[in-house]
Amino acid sequence: MPPPHLSISILLLCLFFFTLLEATKPLNLTLTLPHQHPSPDSVALHVTRTINASLSRRQLTSSSTCGTGNPIDDCWRCDSSDWSSNRQRLADCSIGFGSGTLGGKNGRIYVVTDSSDNNPANPTPGTLRYAVIQEEPLWIVFSSSMFIRLKQELIINSYKTIDGRGAAVHITGNGCLTIQYVQHVIIHNIHIYDCKPSGGAVVAASPTKVGRRGRSDGDGISIFGSQKIWVDHCSLSHCTDGLIDVVLGSTAITISNNYFTHHDEVMLLGHDDKYVLDTGMQVTIAFNHFGQGLVQRMPRCRRGYIHVVNNDFTSWKMYAIGGSGNPTINSQGNRYSAPSDPSAKEVTKRVDSTDDGEWANWNWRTEGDLMENGAFFVASGEGVSTLYSKASSVEPKAAALVDQLTQNAGVFGGPSRDDQGQSGDSYSGYGGGGDGGTGAIGGTSRGSSSNGDNNFFGMIFGNNAPPRPRLTLLLLPLLMICVLSTSTLLLW
């Protein structure tokens, strides 16, 4: 007989193996993403309470010229006598699912002094690209206003804040911002526009990881498999594909105080209806202004839980909020102003679904929303559930206060936000051309865009990249050991 301690060790090893095997089943719906909140309704409730508290505080201190009632802005602009001397205070101010996003908090202040992007594979110190690929936490600021035309997509590492306050920072060019399989990233006060597809080039993702990139779609900001991401006070327009895409198991995200204009497919949340990990996607969309020249996807949701709160939807051409794959959409305290087109009054669209029975149980709810110019929201779901009641137990501040809450949406001190290159409600997507990487801001020509809902997001490293680890492969040796050891025990 083998020694007792050996028998016990073998049995424990087998138990450990089967526990891990159970945890790696691909369709195990109890699997959660990193930073996925177990009770998204409670997060929605906390957001409404935070807004109400900030508004109440402003009423009590109405003599203040700073407070707007917007809890994010009042946090860093009003609670400190000089925000520029305490920039990292911003990291304490996010709300919703992205609350607690650190960015480069407690890291060094890194000053970008060089606006060039000459070598994406080996970036020059002083450039934005050099800063964002570093391994250490960095709070990145800019020495002056600058125009950065990217040669390839800008791959951002974990624990980074790109803070454009105090300067006019414009980012455009090939690929734009990629947040891929990282966490704790803050993008704040940046102009992002005219982003074009890129790929086929060697690009650095860290000081030690350099590889050939696959094709990017030309999104303004692409978020892949990442958590704790906060995009705040940016102005986005005129990109080839989406302005912001959140896909492939990303969660714990807040998109707030941004200004979106002149674009077709504004925001995509969820990679594919069948991509199970996106069930854990949780996104807060708050205090944004959806302005002139927008067509659809504000956002377009697949799976997940999306809280849309206190946004101003000026207009749309097709619909404002769309979805498929049974996402939960919690719309509270928004202003929806429908276009004059009588066929486009509905706020909501069940994409690729014509059968009411297919989506009748999807949990889409509207509360405290203001519908203007004939706008209407088609709710669905089997009544107000207990959890949803908890989320909605505090009346959201909305109709009369949306102007106040979104008055500073976009980049602070930017130009007239509804006049960035085009006037009126027209939209024309990027169709190629441009000035070859040099020239004035907005110096690209624009044509038409016709990207569908089923685009494959190929923004991954090419042949030089190792595949993402699969735990089942790592467990095969354990399985062999377990089987052989168990057989030995039985034969002993």
Could you tell me the two tokens for 398?
């909305």
Q: How far is CA 478 from CA 17, 18, 129, in A?
A: 7, 10, 42
Other CB atoms within 10 A of residue 371 CB: 17
The tens digit of pLDDT for each residue in 101-131 reads 999 999 999 999 999 999 999 999 999 999 9
With a pLDDT cut of 70, the percent of the chain lying above it is 72
Ranking 8-12, 33-37, 448-452 by mean pLDDT, the lowest is: 448-452
Q: How far is CA 218 from CA 324, 374, 406, 430, 435, in A?
A: 23, 34, 27, 9, 17
Fold of the domain spanning 40-406: Pectate Lyase C-like (2.160.20)
Reply yes or no on whether the pLDDT at 23 is more than 90.
no
Quick one: average pLDDT of 87-113?
A: 97
Ranking 90-94, 456-460, 473-477, 478-482 by mean pLDDT, the lowest is: 456-460
Q: What's the rounded Cα separation, in Å, for the pair 225 and 242? A: 17
Quick one: average pLDDT of 290-296?
A: 95
Pick the catalytic residue from 129, 297, 303, 365: 297
Quick one: average pLDDT of 278-306?
A: 95
Residue 397 DSSP label: P
Ranking 45-59, 61-75, 141-155, 364-378 by mean pLDDT, the lowest is: 61-75
Per-residue pLDDT, 444: 31
Per-residue pLDDT, 467: 34
Do the Cβ atoms of 284 and 311 come closer than 8 Å? no
The tens digit of pLDDT for each residue in 386-432 reads 445 555 444 555 566 898 899 999 998 765 444 443 334 443 433 33
Q: Where are the beta strands (DSSP E) in 287-444?
A: 289-290, 294-296, 300-302, 305-309, 312-313, 321-324, 328-332, 335-337, 348-350, 364-367, 370-372
The tens digit of pLDDT for each residue in 336-369 reads 999 999 999 999 999 887 677 788 899 999 999 9
Question: What predicted TM-score, i.e. pTM, was given to this entire model?
Answer: 0.80
Do the Cβ atoms of 308 and 329 come closer than 8 Å? yes
Residue 297 annotated to the active site: yes
Ranking 6-10, 40-44, 214-218, 463-467 by mean pLDDT, the lowest is: 463-467
Per-residue pLDDT, 65: 61
Quick one: average pLDDT of 293-303?
A: 94
Task: Compute the mean pLDDT over every residue in the chain, rounded to the nearest whole number.
Answer: 80
Could you tell me the two tokens for 400?
């009369």
- What's the one-letter identity of residue 15? L
Per-residue pLDDT, 64: 56
Per-residue pLDDT, 57: 81
Reply yes or no on whether the pLDDT at 274 is more than 80.
yes
